[in-house]
Structure 1
Amino acid sequence: MSDILTQIPPVALPEVIPSNLPQQKFYIGEWVRWFQVPNGDFGCIIGVIYTHQASCMATGLHYLILLDEHSPSREICTCDFAFEEDIEPLDQSSLEQLRGNYV
């Protein structure tokens, strides 16, 4: 687990934290994939934070995703943050199909 922690992308606290946070669309343990990009990564949500994402200056809910061992980027990173607008849920059949595409 400590190896995973060293690979978590950087985040920063937002200047103002709202009194009411947005409702989550996805939950810990749910399998998702990035659908906005060709050959998108996929994995399991292992955390949800409200933060200011350092690399693109966007404030809001960010989902920490542990990439599946068959996900295209897994060789270079173990985890990645995703915005709600960039991911979609995976059912078991879709997950198995994605894993089969990258074997």
Structure 2
Amino acid sequence: MPEGFPHQIPQPRLRIGDRVSWRPLPSQDFGTVTGLQYAPAEHLKSWAWRYLIWLDPQSPSHAWTCTDTAWEADLELLTTDQRNTTLEVGQE
């Protein structure tokens, strides 16, 4: 566990229900935050927030998976006019 856990860890930048996209990477995936965990991030050599993302049906990777995970630094909050689609429970 990280030192000072749980009282001295950074607050998550994103919340459940936030619409997000991956920062400019080869992927143009986007979706909704449905879960989060504070976990060891080997690439950062520290702990960080990792999010579970329910992919939008129009997201490129949705053709083969409904969810993905991403580290906080790899995500950005979508504005309301960006990819303004609606996800419904059970929609695939």
For the aligned pair, the TM-score class normalised by the smaller chain equals 0.7 to 0.9
- Are 1:89 and 2:39 matched, yes or no? no
Shift of 1:50: 1.1
For structure 1, the 5+ residue unaligned runs are 1-15, 98-103
Q: TM-score, normalised by structure 2?
A: 0.74
Name the structure 1 match of 2:49.
Answer: 61
Q: How many residues align?
A: 79
CA distance in 2, matches of 1:95, 1:42: 8
Task: Confirm or deny: 8 A CA contact 2:48 2:72 kept in the other structure.
Answer: no
CA distance in 1, matches of 2:2, 2:27: 34
Which runs of structure 2 are paired with 1:65-84 in the superposition (5 Å)?
A: 65-84=53-72
Aligned partner of 1:87: which letter? L
**Tell me, what secondary structure is at the counterpart of 2:65?**
coil
Higher relative contact order (CA 8 A, sep 6+): 1
For structure 2, the 5+ residue unaligned runs are 86-92
CA RMSD of aligned residues (A): 1.9
Stretches of 4+ moved more than 2 A in 1?
Answer: none
Task: Confirm or deny: 8 A CA contact 1:36 1:87 kept in the other structure.
Answer: no
Percent identical residues: 33
- Are 1:25 and 2:16 matched, yes or no? no
Q: TM-score, normalised by structure 1?
A: 0.67
Counterpart pick for 2:23 among 19, 35, 38:
35
Counterpart pick for 1:47 among 35, 39, 42:
35
Q: Which has the higher helix share?
A: 1
